[in-house]
Structure 1
Amino acid sequence: MSHSVISPAIYYWGTPVVLISTTNEDGTPNIGPISSAFWLGNRCMLGLASGSQTSINLRRTKQCVLNLASDNMIPHVNALARTTGISDVPPLRVQMGYRHVKDKFGVAKLTPQESEVVEPPRIKECPVQMEAEMMGEHEMMGNLPGHLRGFTHAIEVQVLRTYVVDELRMAGHANRVDPDKWRPLIMSFQHFYGLRNVEEKSTLANIEEEMYRLPDGSTTS
């Protein structure tokens, strides 16, 4: 096996597509599609452009819904891919083919579904929905020169409530998802992929899933 040195422009090795719904200042909903997200316990780190409408809304309201797209939702995601809730589209985004769209649900032919503990709506077509609140923000790329400094940031959110369609639930368990039934839409180097059926069982799968559950960090009076 021989390795070569390369310098890729992007590092999307393969992560789930997340449709983040937030609330605009005028009360209308926004949807931001991203593929830079990872989870630890009930916390999620979101990689976002710091000037995006999603980031602006999150800083103001501290609330969002993380809607996970399944592999049959490519037309919906593609309809959102080069849209922005920012009315004054930045020049770089214009060069990349982005355009301002106010009604993200309409353009993507998605259905808003009322949330229970946060204001932004859930996306009915997504089989997994997580209502969440912002817990912190970390600036990234702070060492870059000039206007590029702080172009992106990582936002930590805490999942408050999780919804899954019944078809994904593991038989005999109240709080588990059956990985053989979950078909997330994966973004890898700007291309969409699905997941194959598992071919070999992971050794980690022998650990009881509930052992990973962490305290939610809330306090009671």
Structure 2
Amino acid sequence: MHRVVDLKVLYFGTPVVLISTRNPDGTANLAPMSSAWWLDDQCMLGMNTGAQTTINLARERECVLNLPSADLVTAVDRLALLTGSPTLSPHKVNKGYRHEPDKFGAAGLTPVPSDLVAAPRVAECPIQLECELLSAAPFGIDTDAIAHTVRVVRAHVADDLVLPGTQYIDPVGWDPLIMKFCEFFGGGAQVHPSRLAEAWRMPHPEPSR
């Protein structure tokens, strides 16, 4: 049996990405997001028009997509309600966001230099993708979303995730951190409480007995 449901959220599960960009003063910004998908060597990123990452991307036209594994969920969750912008919208104030200029420090993560872009990589992330911005366009109707298309210009991958003798990721060894309806999952199981889900007042199912 199925029922017709007026779903409030269409967010069925995508990998978490930590996007590192460079601020106007040369410092690093680090933002978690999970509206991302890849095709060939390009990726589409969906973000809010007022986000510091969006502003930085428009100016610098480059970024790093750092893919955390599920065991980095605690660090990612520390970033959930932080913003690199000193000016907070009423929406973000209502959700409990606060300005944090040192996102790497707040998350307990380590910046390392990239090869081809100015933004740093996240040392702890097993996969780090240096990217150049190809395009940006409004997304949807009556939304504040923008779709960025970026091209991967260099990929850094942990040795143990590369299938020996190939240029391919081991899909069994790679356990990405997944966000599903604002909750964190890894290996098919919920791995950590989510500050974002709490801020958005997402309903939680009763635990199984």
TM-score with structure 2 length normalisation? 0.88
Partner of 2:181: 189
> Which residue of the partner structure matches residue 79 of structure 1?
78
Aligned equivalents of 1:107, 1:123: Cα separation in 2: 13
Higher strand share: 2
Matched ranges for 1:110-125 at <5 A: 110-125=109-124
What are the equivalent positions in structure 2 for 1:116-195 lying under 5 Å apart?
116-141=115-140, 143-144=141-142, 150-173=143-166, 175-195=167-187
SS at match of 2:69: coil
How far apart are 1:32 and its partner, in Å?
A: 1.0
2: CA distance between counterparts of 1:19 and 1:45? 14
> Equivalents in 2 of 1:152, 1:53: separation in Å?
13
In 1, Cα distance between equivalents of 2:57 and 2:111: 18
2:161 partner amino acid = L
Shift of 1:195: 2.7
Superposed displacement of residue 9, structure 1: 2.3
2:31: which partner in 1? 32
Larger Rg: 1
Cα-to-partner distance string for 1:127-178 (whole Å, 9 max, x where unaligned):
000000100012013x32xxxxx500110000000011001010221x1111
SS for the counterpart of 1:54 is helix
Q: SS of the counterpart of 2:131?
A: strand
Aligned residue identity for 2:26: G
Aligned to 1:52: 51
What is the deviation of 1:10?
A: 1.9
2:191 match: none
Q: Give the CA deviation at 1:86.
A: 1.0
Partner of 1:200 in structure 2? none
TM-score by length of 1: 0.83
The whole-number CA distance in structure 2 between the counterparts of 1:40 and 1:110 is: 28
* Superposition pairs of residues 86-105 of structure 1, within 5 angstroms: 86-105=85-104
Gaps of 5+ in 1: 145-149, 197-221
How many pairs align?
Answer: 188
Q: Which runs of 5+ in 2 are unaligned?
A: 189-209
For 2:70, what is the secondary structure of its paired residue? coil
